[in-house]
Amino acid sequence: MSDSSVLGSPTQERVGRGFVALYAAAYMGAILLFLAPLLVSLSLKVSSLVGIDRAPTSLSLVAGTGALLAMFATRSSAG
């Protein structure tokens, strides 16, 4: 008698599209929940450092550089 016949074969059930859609919506909601306060505090910090006139340009430079570095860091750690 083999071990698989004693333990039984594991069954895998496929989930439906509704479950995947709800899971994706919950995941995006959780990300936005944590991301919104970070973006607001970052914009306030940049505004206090460079002034209100240069804040939009500086914020886009900081956010763009951070996103680019995060993209390369994620790619290098996955491979």
Task: Decide: residue 46, CB within 10 A, 0-12 exposed, 13-18 middle, 19+ buried.
Answer: buried
Q: How many CA atoms lie within 13 A of 78 on its CB side?
A: 6
Instruction: State pLDDT tens for residues 5-63.
Output: 556 667 888 889 999 999 999 999 999 999 899 989 999 999 999 999 999 999 999 99
The model's pTM is 0.57
DSSP string, 13-67: PPPPHHHHHHHHHHHHHHHHHHHHHHHHHHHHHHHHHH-TTTHHHHHHHHHHHHH
- Whether pLDDT at 3 is above 60: no
